[in-house]
Amino acid sequence: MSGERILLVTGASSEVGTALIRSAADKYDRIWAHYNRSLSEIELLMEEIGEKIAPVQADFSDENNTQAMIESIRASGALPGDIVHLSAMKPSGLQFHKQKWESYQREIDTSLRSIVLILQAFIPEMAKKRHGKIVFMLSAYLLGVPPKFQSPYITVKYALLGLMRNLSAEYASKGITVNAVSPDMMETKFLSNLPELVIEQSAKNNPLGRNIRVEEVVPAIEYLLSDAANVVTGQNIGVTGG
């Protein structure tokens, strides 16, 4: 296992996750494809790509479930050298004073706690090998004035940005890069809780006159996973269209 290139993608059943895996599959010997409920999307990847796709299930809102996933990967001996963290709760528009703490907690558990536990488990081995690539999916909402009515989602994205930058400083000397990609709104099933008017307004406000496409985001992630980005760390790359 020591010479293999192994990737872990959280939220692999998402449109970005499946597109990334399809595009990057030739560069890896094994890809751990995390999902919560959408096994069918992972099964399609297995049919197309073959045995190198290793599905792994976890509900990140459950800490024990998350730890069980980590232990199953650890027990296999196939520890990831590259990690892409896509998992997040779907944003929904609600005024701040109407948000319950449970909404923040779900965001924290799903997006923040999950990657903290995963990285604490696998970064030590990356550091021993003096090589590792970690990429967080953030949001263009961190690059300018954020929209209203999405405080739990945006709060946790800022927490992830802080974690990314701190880890990039801590592990640069170990050969590990930690970066993020922040796309503008993409019209995927991730937006299913938002009003159509919000999605249309986002497209209208974008200099391109449309929302960003999944296939326009994947190359930025692949770049950060590549040897071309060996000295790129602590960066949050915007994919915004202007």
Is residue 226 pLDDT above 70, yes or no? yes
Q: How far apart are CA 97 and CA 230, in angstroms?
A: 44
Per residue in 13-60, pLDDT tens?
A: 999 999 999 999 999 999 999 999 999 999 999 999 999 999 999 999
For 12, what's the count of Cα atoms within 13 Å in the CB-facing half-sphere?
30
More confident residue, 196 or 231: 231
Name the active-site residue from 153, 158, 171, 223: 153
For the chain, how big is the Rg over CA atoms in Å? 17
Q: Catalytic annotation on 104?
A: no
Cβ-contact 2, 25 below 8 angstroms: no
Predicted confidence band at 195 (pLDDT cuts at 50, 70, 90)? low
Per residue in 84-109, pLDDT tens?
A: 999 987 767 788 999 999 999 999 99
Is residue 239 pLDDT above 80, yes or no? yes
Contacts 24+ apart (CB under 8 A), 67-76: 67/117, 69/34, 70/117, 70/118, 70/121, 73/8, 73/32, 73/121, 73/122, 74/121
Is residue 1 pLDDT above 70, yes or no? no
Q: 8 in helix, strand or coil?
A: strand
Among the ranges given (80-84, 156-160, 189-193, 224-228), the one the predictor scored with the smallest mean pLDDT: 189-193
- The encoded tokens of residue 150 equal 């999405």
More confident residue, 93 or 1: 93
pTM for the predicted model, two decimal places? 0.92
Which amino acid type is present at position 158?
Y
Q: What is the pLDDT of residue 193?
A: 60
Predicted confidence band at 74 (pLDDT cuts at 50, 70, 90)? very high
Which amino acid type is present at position 168?
S
| Average pLDDT over all residues of the chain | 92
